[in-house]
Chain A
Amino acid sequence: MARVLVVEDDPAIRAALLRSLAGAGHAVTSQPTGMAGLTEAVDEPPDVVVLDLGLPDVDGLTVLSMLRAVSSVPVVVATARDDEKEIVRALDLGADDYLVKPFGGDQLEARIRAVLRRAGHDAPPAPIIVGGLVVTPTSREVTLDGIPVELSRKEFDLLHLLAQRVGEVITKREILTEVWRQSYGGGDRTVDVHLSWLRRKLGETAAEPVYLHSVRGVGVRLVDPRGSQPGSVV
């Protein structure tokens, strides 16, 4: 359970978020304006802030930079604008994660959990080692048996997601949500194409998988080919 402060001007969304987060077991308070939200965040520091960028009084990005000046509370930005520039600015100003509207309660809940997890330890995330594969999130570098692998941004995000949950089958839908931030279905081939490219770059094919194993009709999982998960080949 965490104390969540929701700063959102739309009453319908505010009410829905209150219900959804309270349903997930969080203690939720909400403020309709930037200044009120800022005041509350300073007076009664919450565990996490969900901040809408389109606020009536002060721009959400301004609220974010003002908040960052006095507090290191984790902030999840919720924005209706899928403009990449604005998202990058929000992240640069100190947002811990972002969500593009419309999003579901589960997705928000998952992101809150993730930022709270990260907030627990300040040390940068350590490289993830799966067999001969080393994924370094800080520098966004990947090596396979010591040799650097050139990956595109999405390919890295995809591999990083899979490497964080080695052995676990991750659905394409979840990959779309996490990597592409798309909350609706479709776009299966987007994931497939990137997965195939990732396979090529890791020197394997779908017919002869090494690290990336597709589970037909379900999703994909990353396994350690050196046998730490026997019987993982499907």
Chain B
Amino acid sequence: MLRARITWLAAALVAGVVISFVIPLCLLVRTMAEDRAVSATRSDAQSVAMIVAGVDDPASLPAVLAPTLNGRTTTTTVALPSGQVLGGAPLAGPAVTGGPAPAPAVFPEDSALLATVRADNRSVATTADDRFHVLIPVGIADGVAIVHSVTDMGQVTRGVYGSWSILATVGLLLVLGSVLVARQQSARISTPVVAMADVAHRLRSGDFEARATTTGPVEVVELGQALNQLADRIEDLLRLEREGAADLSHRLRTPVTALRLDTDQVEDPTVRARLRGHVEDLHRAIDSVVADARRPSREVMGGWCDARAVLADRAHHWGPLAEDQGRTTTVTGQTTTGAHPAYPPVLVGLAAQDLADLLDNLVDNVFAHTPEGTPIRLELQVIDARAVLRVEDGGEGSPDTVAFERGESGAGSTGLGLDIVRRLAADAGGSVRFEHAHLGGLAVIVSLPLVARAGRAG
């Protein structure tokens, strides 16, 4: 795009310049050609008129004028007082040199013009019917002869077209040349910029080895270097974050170990059991903090996955336990593993592991809070550019009490249950809500916006 834009810009600029020069030039060429034709016509008429005036014997005029009247671009005729017309080529038909009868007029307007000149007895220069006429009356022995020169201005203009086409060709070549140069020059900018965009996409998708090659104009080189420094920085930050999480777990777990070991030394079994419970809660909380601290590195990479495939995978995972507990499990929403033309992937902005965690938490909740034999239903639908995941059961849960039953942490459930689900859904720009299930129990609905593949477009 950048390259095309620069090329178009150069082409438009050069075309503008060329047009603003070529059009006046063309007009100038035409004007000059016309001026030349007009003055040539005048000088032709004047030179013939001088010859006619200088000949004493009118009878010798045809012989004297023959070499002069022939071979001129301008048609010059001489109308003698006798009515005879000398000359008459090349503009119109065969020459009518000499002839007994008065020669017919060469052009339709001629007779009128001749009559005017004869009547006024003075020179006339006029344009009629795109032809330029110069008529000069010359007094000779037997009366007034009229020298008449005509130039076809249309022909002059047509002759100009040749010059115009040369000018236009030169202009076109200039534009084409500028396009070629612009393409070449813009490639120097656009190629490294496109490569840098690719590097940025690779960084985003988690390939922190990606680095831009720094070539091209100074600004582009600087951009490339800045991108590489940014990549280095991201790598450093991620490393520090991981180290920080490891350090955090280390610092927290060591005192908890001492506490846990000392708990065993408590004599009173009731107090000991209670202390153990507290230590276990603390341990669980630390694990969850550490898991949270580690999480962003995965999220930064812009995770995405096929919700359909993940749902199918998790349904498969929980299948045997559901069967052993006599729970009927229904999975709807065209869930199928692997690519299937009829069931395109439903891409959502969560890493596959995160979506699996989300679903596992919801299914685990059903197992934890409904008696064996309670049916489970998993459903995936795509509604208004959102993937709507529905996990429902036939138990006795109610949307109104769910937060107290299943949402609170430290209630002996794995992890923090719905807290994790809510956070993961929020990470992917989605939401969680509760409804009465068609099966009779609770339905948890997780709605996640669809994303474009690999996050490149989205």
A residues near B (Cβ < 8 Å) are 10, 12-13, 15-17, 19-20, 23, 54, 78, 80-83, 100-106, 183-190, 192-193, 195-197, 199-200, 205-207
B residues near A (Cβ < 8 Å) are 246, 249-250, 253-265, 276, 279-281, 283-284, 290, 317-318, 320-321, 323-326, 364, 367-368, 412-415
A59 smallest CB distance to B (angstroms) = 13
Whether the Cβ atoms of B253 and A101 lie closer than 8 Å is yes
Q: Chain A residues near B326: list those with CB within 8 A.
A: 207
Most A C-beta atoms less than 10 A away, residue of B258, B279, B318, B368: B258
Q: Chain A residues near B413: list those with CB within 8 A.
A: 186
Whether the Cβ atoms of A81 and B249 lie closer than 8 Å is yes
Whether the Cβ atoms of A185 and B412 lie closer than 8 Å is yes
Q: Chain B residues near A83: list those with CB within 8 A.
A: 246
Whether the Cβ atoms of A207 and B261 lie closer than 8 Å is no
Whether the Cβ atoms of A183 and B261 lie closer than 8 Å is no
Most B C-beta atoms less than 10 A away, residue of A184, A187, A207: A184
A61 smallest CB distance to B (angstroms) = 14
| Cα of A212 to Cα of B425 in the assembled complex, Å | 38
| Cα of A104 to Cα of B284 in the assembled complex, Å | 14
Q: Chain B residues near A187: list those with CB within 8 A.
A: 414
Whether the Cβ atoms of B258 and A12 lie closer than 8 Å is yes
Whether the Cβ atoms of B323 and A205 lie closer than 8 Å is yes
CB within 8 Å for A104 and B249 given contacts A185-B280, A206-B325: no
User: Of the candidates A16, A106, A183, which one forms a contact with B262 in the assembled complex, judged by CB atoms under 8 Å apart?
Assistant: A16
Whether the Cβ atoms of A13 and B321 lie closer than 8 Å is no
User: Of the candidates A80, A185, A207, which one forms a contact with B324 in the assembled complex, judged by CB atoms under 8 Å apart?
Assistant: A207
Q: Chain A residues near B412: list those with CB within 8 A.
A: 185-186
| Cα of A17 to Cα of B258 in the assembled complex, Å | 8
B135 smallest CB distance to A (angstroms) = 111
Query: Interface of chain B, helix or strand or loop or mixed?
Result: helix
B222 smallest CB distance to A (angstroms) = 39
* A–B Cβ pairs within 8 angstroms, 18 of them: A10-B258, A19-B265, A20-B265, A23-B264, A54-B254, A81-B249, A83-B246, A101-B257, A103-B260, A184-B283, A186-B414, A187-B414, A188-B414, A189-B364, A193-B318, A197-B320, A199-B320, A206-B325
User: Of the candidates B255, B265, B281, B323, which one forms a contact with A196 in the assembled complex, judged by CB atoms under 8 Å apart?
Assistant: B323
CB within 8 Å for A199 and B260 given contacts A80-B253, A102-B253, A185-B280: no
Q: Chain B residues near A189: list those with CB within 8 A.
A: 321, 364, 367-368, 414
| Cα of A189 to Cα of B257 in the assembled complex, Å | 26
User: Of the candidates A16, A185, A205, which one forms a contact with B261 in the assembled complex, judged by CB atoms under 8 Å apart?
Assistant: A16
In the A-B complex, list the 6 residue pairs whose CB atoms are closest, starting with the nearest: A16-B261, A196-B320, A206-B324, A184-B280, A12-B258, A102-B257
Whether the Cβ atoms of A102 and B265 lie closer than 8 Å is no
Q: Chain B residues near A190: list those with CB within 8 A.
A: 414
B319 smallest CB distance to A (angstroms) = 8
| Cα of A100 to Cα of B246 in the assembled complex, Å | 13
